[in-house]
Amino acid sequence: MKKLGICLIITGILFFVFGIAIGTPRAQEAVKETGAAPASPSQPAQPLRLNVFEGGEQTAGQPFDSEKLLPPGSPQWIGAPLMPGGRKMSEGSGRFVQEYDKPYNEVLAWYRQALKNYPDARYRDWSHEMYIEDEGASRWLAITLSKEGGPKTQVTIVKDNWTWIFATLFLRFFGVFVVLLVLWLGLNIATFIVRRLVKDEKEPAPASA
């Protein structure tokens, strides 16, 4: 039992050190992404509820197309709402850029209102832009609102594309390998330590005998 106790302490220390090393940048990133303070460890994490309307029960979870939620005749690009009154900067098959003579906060407030009934819009608050990602069945991938234009705000709508899908899939498949490789490494280290301890405990025995 002594060796078990030592092993438990070593494991605890390893996790503590590893946790600090990994946890700090993650917490900082969380602040950057959400603009909120990181949750304290005692605070319960927000449950992941992806198909819930505000104040309602979980829905059947059918994917939405934002186009169906827009009022008829309202300005849009491939189903993504377009705030009226801007100047078109560029338009291609996969990207649409429009500029507004309004500060970022006003444009964001308009988009929040326009997408308030769209449950599959995910807001990612980055330092230089707000990235509104579609997780539903819309044809657009993201609407980005620039933050660094002062009185002007640029809105970029990007069409759903396969590059993103393939890239994210490759990364995630690779990620599974990384997780299991780290686990493999952890197991090897633990095995090494345990076997050394067992050996160390066994070695003196024949000497004393």
Partner 1 sequence: MELNEILDLLHGTLQTTGFMFVGWKVIVMWLIGLFFLYMAIVKDFEPNLLLPIGFGIFLVNFPNTPLFGFSEGHPQLLQFFYKYGIIWETIPCLIFLGLGAMTDFGPLIANPMMLLIGAGAQLGVFVTFTGTILLGFSVKEAASVGIIGGADGPTTIYLTALLAPHLLSANTLAAYSYMSMVPLIQPPIMRIMCSKKEKLIRMKPSARPVSKTEKILYPLICGGIIALLVPAVMPLMGMFMFGNLMRESGVVKRLTATVGGPMMDVVTVLLGVAVGASMQAEVFLSYKPIMVFALGLADFVVCTAGGILTVKVMNLFRKEKINPIIGISGVSAIPMSPRVAQIWGQKYDRKNYLLMHAMGACLGGSIGSPAAAGMLLAMFK
Q: Which stretch binds partner 1 (CB under 8 A): 34-42, 77-85, 100-108, 189-197?
A: 189-197
Query: Contact between 51 and partner 1 (CB under 8 A)?
Result: yes
The minimum distance between CB 138 and partner 1, in angstroms, equals: 9
The Cα–Cα gap between 115 and 190 comes to 50
Residues 111-130 touching partner 1, rule: CB under 8 A, are: 120, 122
Query: Contact between 194 and partner 1 (CB under 8 A)?
Result: yes
At position 178, the amino acid (one-letter code) is: V
The Cα–Cα gap between 77 and 160 comes to 12
The minimum distance between CB 93 and partner 1, in angstroms, equals: 19
Strand partners, 77: 80
Query: Contact between 11 and partner 1 (CB under 8 A)?
Result: yes
Per-residue interface string for the shown chain with partner 1, residues 148-187, x marking contact by CB under 8 A: -----------------xx-xxx-xx-xxxxxxxxxx-xx
| Main-chain phi, psi angles of 48, to 5 degrees | -80, 105
Say which DSSP state 52 is in: B
The Cα–Cα gap between 27 and 9 comes to 26
